[in-house]
Amino acid sequence: MNEIKSKPGRRGAGGSDAVGKKAAGNTPIALTETTIEPLTLHKDGAEDASQALTSYYRCPANLARFLPARQRSEQPGYFRLGDDTVCYGRLPSAPAGPAGELQDALESIQLEAAGIRTPFDPEEIVENLRRERYAACFRQSAGGLNEVWQKAYYLVRPLLGISARKRLQKIYLRGWRDLNFPAWPVDTTVERIHQKLLALALRARGLERTPFIWFWPDGFRGCAIMTHDIEDTGGRDFSPTLMDLDESYGFYSAFQVVPEKRYAVSADFLRNLASRGFEVNVHDLRHDGRLYADRAGFLRRARRINRYAREFGARGFRSGILYRNADWFDAFEFSYDMSIPNVAHLDPQRGGCCTVMPYFIGGIVELPLTTTQDYTLFHILGDYSLDLWKEQIALTLANHGLIHFLVHPDYLLERRALGCYKALLGFLVDLRAKGEIWSALPGEVADWWRERNRMQLVSRGGQWRVEGPGSERARVAYAELTGDEVAYRFAA
């Protein structure tokens, strides 16, 4: 088999710690020839805990059976899964707060004849990260100050220049370097959780490896997408020039348009974007920071946003300032969303989904933002080099994830910023030429992720193969134990 160039996990680390206690008389069970059926979701979109691994890897359905704890605390909190992975969820005893000494849940895992009994629900702890449910403690600690700050800021924002805005934003974001969780500059906690669960499953069955459907089409190591949010008139007017630039490097990107208040959007402007092969998406409603202010107001705005999506022919959405509430996404009629950052230390709404992979929120595919926004890089960090972006690319690619950029046409009007962006495009072109990345539109990534979720991994005559729509681009890979880590390989 051919080894894929890197091992999964943050900065290349992954794997699993030793299992706590093994039940007497437990014997390894060999994998049988099996087919993965498309997953059936509960009404709230949550999968059965025993299907969490199947959903992520699209591996044989009988690989693992995770048994629920016999009792759990009603109150969620933080705990560890080994030395390198922080989780948030419910344990039999009340977990600690974010500043407390964290219990290691690996020490309480037991292997029984019926399966692997964990003191936590695997799907729950993953969803708590992906949907940022752990971040409620950040909002509670801030009290009502965030809302007051937001209202005051957006009241005076039209009167402020970039210099004044930068000063206020730096004051608001001070102390971000002291945040330990999620991990800066890229957090892959969700990836490590799945790797640890996979290692537990393999050891429980006495297996060294399992087949699974590779994450990306045609065996690409990772994927890269470019997105552009148009914030104001200057950005709208520069967009045709930006399309020329992207196209000259062989990239086609997605442009997100604010439908109300900020600037006029003509039908010719939208047609020009789409006719040239770029995507048009909806960017908030008014970009005023009020989309998620309250549930009733959100539902009213969501209905208007859905109407604009139909009018624009848009399949994707991103909220203004990356304000978000994943548990409210069911009001949207989009194929995919792009509003949740991987780690949000430098965003007004703290948190982060802690994964570099696309994932489902109900019927919507979430494409997490895995790199720092251009405005933040240039105007908050004062950095016009590629150093941070290259580090984030390397960390995301090491975990075979989605490299997702957000670069605003509004902030490329300055020569230094435009030069930095051209250098970024050149760097991505080199990665693409080496066959490292699949360069795609966001809609193409969402389509692939849906197809992969419906594909079937079938064993016929001792050979594994992928079946289903889109399977001609799919690859069978193997996840195998190498010491305490999980490595990925392709079949020869």
- Which tens digit of pLDDT belongs to each residue from 242-255? 999 999 999 999 99
Tell me the average pLDDT of the chain.
86
Contacts 24+ apart (CB under 8 A), 431-435: 431/224, 431/393, 431/397, 432/224, 432/250, 435/220, 435/221
Q: Say whether pLDDT at 52 is over 60.
A: yes
Tens of pLDDT, residue by residue over 424-444, are 999 999 999 999 999 999 999
Q: Categorize the per-residue pLDDT at 33 as very low, low, confident or very high, splitting at 50, 70 and 90.
A: very low
Q: Which residues, 6+ apart, have CB-to-CB distance to 150 below 8 Å? A: 289, 348
Q: Categorize the per-residue pLDDT at 178 as very low, low, confident or very high, splitting at 50, 70 and 90.
A: confident
Q: Exposure of 183 by Cβ count < 10 A (0-12 exposed, 13-18 middle, 19+ buried)?
A: buried
Tens of pLDDT, residue by residue over 64-89, are 888 888 888 888 999 999 999 999 99
Tens of pLDDT, residue by residue over 265-281, are 999 999 999 999 999 99
Structure pTM?
Answer: 0.88
Q: Say whether pLDDT at 338 is over 60.
A: yes
Share of the chain above pLDDT 70, in %: 81
pLDDT at 304: 98
Residue 335, Cβ neighbours under 10 Å: how many? Answer: 19
Strand arrangement, sheet containing 209-213 = 2-3, 485-490, 476-482, 209-213
Distance of CA 356 to CAs 130, 188, 189, 221, 257, Å?
A: 10, 6, 9, 13, 25
Of the given ranges (25-34, 93-102, 147-156, 388-397), which has the lowest mean pLDDT? 25-34
**For the chain, what is the HEC assignment?**
CEECCCCCCHHHCCCCCCCCEECCCCCCCCCCCCECCCCCCCCCCCCCHHHHHHHHHCCCCCCCCEECCCCCCCCCEEEECCCCCEEEECCCCCCECCCCCCCEHHHHCEEECCEEECCCCHHHHHHHHHCCHHHHHHHHHHCCHHHHHHHHHHHHHHHCCHHHHHHHHHHHHCCHHHCCCCCCCCCCHHHHHHHHHHHHHHHHHCCCEEEEECCCHHHCCEEEEEEEEECCHHHHHHHHHHHHHHHHCCCCCEEEECCCCCCCCCHHHHHHHHHCCCEEEEECCCCCCCCCCCHHHHHHHHHHHHHHHHHHCCCEEECHHHCCCHHHHHHCCCCEECCCECCCCCCCCCCCCCCCCCEEECCEEECCECCCCHHHHHHHCCCCCCHHHHHHHHHHHHCCCEEEEECCHHHCCCHHHHHHHHHHHHHHHHHHHCCCEEECCHHHHHHHHHHHHHCEEEEECCEEEEECCCHHHCCEEEEEEECCEEEEEECC
pLDDT at 375: 95
Can you tell me the mean pLDDT for 367-395?
97
Distance of CA 461 to CAs 33, 80, 464, Å?
A: 9, 42, 8
Q: Say whether pLDDT at 25 is over 70.
A: no
Strand arrangement, sheet containing 115-117 = 21-22, 110-112, 115-117, 66-67
Least Cα distance to 361 among 342, 343, 341, 335 occurs for 335
Can you tell me the mean pLDDT for 108-126?
92
Q: Categorize the per-residue pLDDT at 49 as very low, low, confident or very high, splitting at 50, 70 and 90.
A: low
Q: Categorize the per-residue pLDDT at 94 as very low, low, confident or very high, splitting at 50, 70 and 90.
A: confident
Q: Say whether pLDDT at 119 is over 90.
A: yes
